[in-house]
Structure 1
Amino acid sequence: MRPSPTFREATRDDLPQIVALLADDGLGATSETPGEALPEYYVRAFEAIADDPRNAVIVAEVDGEIVGTLQLTYIPSLTCLGGERAQIEGVRVATDQRGHGIGQAMITWAVEQARARGCRMVQLTTDRRRPEAIRFYQKLGFRPSHTGMKYHLNET
């Protein structure tokens, strides 16, 4: 039987492994720049997240090895009776660890964190080109209730 993952806030030292996880799929491979010597923009982004009490990068570990990551952001809102919502972003599980319940454990953990904080809603997005991810999130109770749109400012 595989051990269950444990969760903790990421540290700066975890950043190369986190970026490698983000790049470890077809879409991430085209948009991320993994390596031990990371570009400074990753460090700046990580420090901004770490300094923000409404944000956290989380890593999942099994036997001391990072096997997954996600970002959890708490967003104050006037909608939903002024309730706070939790946004889950950047969910990744190491390729060789997929299919062992780690992703489900990560999302369940994040939802429980939001519930304990009193959030009224948990939301996430996933790229339409990831049909397996869409099915996975639906299996966990997420519903495609809205149409999400993105406007990328750095595209020409």
Structure 2
Amino acid sequence: MGDLEIRAAVIDDLPAIVGMLADDPLGAQRESPDDLDPYRDALERISTDPNQHQVVAVREDRVVGTLQLTIIPGLSRRGATRSIIEGVRIHADERGSGLGTQLIEWAIEESRRQNCQLVQLTSDKTRADAHRFYERLGFQASHTGFKLPL
């Protein structure tokens, strides 16, 4: 594990990132690895926003994991800043290796460094393994989420 680097994602990482996003039943329905244009636009927007952090985990010059960390200043909770972890994906070859834990720990530490008082994330209701993983890391299922497609 010592050869792992967690760094900001760059354009050349997109095929690997999108491949991981699409590599499960839910992602296969909503991602388009054959058309990277919308992902290029999105990464540009993310990269120019100081509150957005799209990172990749790289081992031996190969992208093996990714997540997005968003920092949100707010008024609630006495003006607390919170972070949201999204899009956590680990390459199939690396699942079970501890890489997911390392990525989440990086996100928690970065949240502390940015003076966040709360870290939150969502996970699709069908991802029971992910729920157990997050609970092992100390996260608690505390809210019911809602989405409205636009």
Q: TM-score, normalising length from structure 2?
A: 0.96
Q: Which amino acid aligns with 2:73?
A: P
Aligned mates of 1:99, 1:74 — CA distance in 2: 28
Q: Secondary structure at the match of 1:53?
A: coil
C-alpha spacing 1:20/1:33, structure 2 compared with 1 (3 Å)? same
Matches within 5 A, 1:54-133: 54-133=51-130
* Counterpart code for 1:8: R
Structure 1 counterpart of 2:44, one-letter code: E
- CA distance in structure 2 between the partners assigned to 1:61 and 1:41 by the alignment: 23
Of 37, 44, 48, the match for 1:47: 44
Structure 2's unaligned 5+ residue stretches are none
Report deviation, 1:152: 1.2
Instruction: Quote how far apart the aligned CAs of 1:4 are.
Output: 5.3
Q: Is the 8 A contact 1:3 1:62 kept in 2?
A: no
Distance 2:52 2:22 in 1: 21
SS at match of 1:91: strand
Give the ranges of 4+ consecutive aligned residues of structure 1 lying more than 3 Å apart after TM superposition: none
Q: Shift of the alpha carbon at 1:13?
A: 1.1
Deviations 1:12-62 (A, max 9, x none): 111111111100111101110113xx3421111111111101001100011
The 1-side partners of 2:61 and 2:104 are apart by 20
Gaps of 5+ in 1: none
- Provide the C-alpha distance between the structure 1 equivalents of 2:38 and 2:59, rounded to a whole number of angstroms: 28
Q: Is 1:34 matched up with 2:16?
A: no
Paired amino acid for 2:126: R
Count of residues in correspondence between the two structures: 150
- How many Å separate the matches in 2 of 1:13 and 1:70? 16
Q: CA deviation at 1:65?
A: 1.1
Length-normalised TM-score, structure 1: 0.92
2-structure distance, mates of 1:9, 1:39: 18
Equivalent residues of 1:5, 1:105 under 8 A apart? no
